[in-house]
Amino acid sequence: MSETTNKIALVTGASSGVGYELAKCFAEDGCHLVLVSCSEDELQDIATDFRAHYGVRVEVIAKDLYQPNAARELYSEVRAKGIKVNYLINDAGPGFYGNFVETDLDRELAIIQLNVCSLVVMTRLFLEDMIACNQGRILQVGTAVSKTPVPYSSVYSATKAFVHQFAQAMKPELEGTSVTMTTLRSAQEGELATPERVARAGYEAMLRGSDPLVSGFSARQFREGREPVEPGKRSA
């Protein structure tokens, strides 16, 4: 029996890409799910599939985490449903590509809201519950740019650097507890890693409480715009 069997994982950005593959990893191991993204229809299709194939319970919550109050609303909805989250997966984090002085400033600010503000709120609120019962794991999904500034995606890469630094700084604060925080990021070398491979590495590392480094994403591919996408779409 897996560690995750009959527990509950909340996964943001769960409608596609790495978020979907992470949710699938949990479902395969018998973990019940709370799936979150902007698209309720896509989530309902995934939920139906997971229930049929893996026999797990799946709760769907459509929430736009670009909105300032959305993360708090999400937490309140989860609590109102009586759901205790054992695993928090912060994956929602697309961006877009362009010269900073020419991009839409509101879109840039929305990326900061999503990748920084909503992530911090989600982490804080669910972490408080985990600390209270001295049990839980959090996976923060970074990218190849978590430690590398990227021209023409300056705000996005800066927010992913925040994710990495935030999670690393949290580790000493969690020492002495049974709660862990793992950061998933990919190295800028090798062949392009599939979402399945990235998700599996992150999932297994989260269960170990360690940080994985998945090779398979080049700086050239990032500059070509293959990772960031416009808000409202999902990146792998």
Mark 166-193 as b/e (b = at least 16 C-beta within 10 Å): bbeebeeebeeeebbbbbbbbebeeeeb
Digit-coded pLDDT (tens) for 87-99:
999 997 667 789 9
The larger pLDDT score, comparing residue 186 to residue 205, is at 205
Question: Averaged over 167-173, what is the pLDDT?
Answer: 93
Ranges of each domain in the chain? 8-223
The larger pLDDT score, comparing residue 223 to residue 28, is at 28
Q: How much is the pLDDT for 198? A: 87
Class of domain 8-223: alpha beta
Q: How much is the pLDDT for 146? A: 64
Return d(Cα 9, Cα 142) in angstroms, integer: 18
3-class DSSP string for 75-114:
HHHHHHCCCCCCEEEECCCCCCCCCCCCCCHHHHHHHHHH
Asked if residue 101 has pLDDT above 60, the reply is yes
Q: How much is the pLDDT for 187? A: 54
Of 139-148, 156-165, 173-182, 191-200, the least confident: 139-148
Asked if residue 219 has pLDDT above 50, the reply is no
Of 10-14, 60-64, 170-174, 212-216, the least confident: 212-216
The predicted model scores a pTM of 0.88
Q: How much is the pLDDT for 34? A: 98
Question: Averaged over 106-134, what is the pLDDT?
Answer: 96
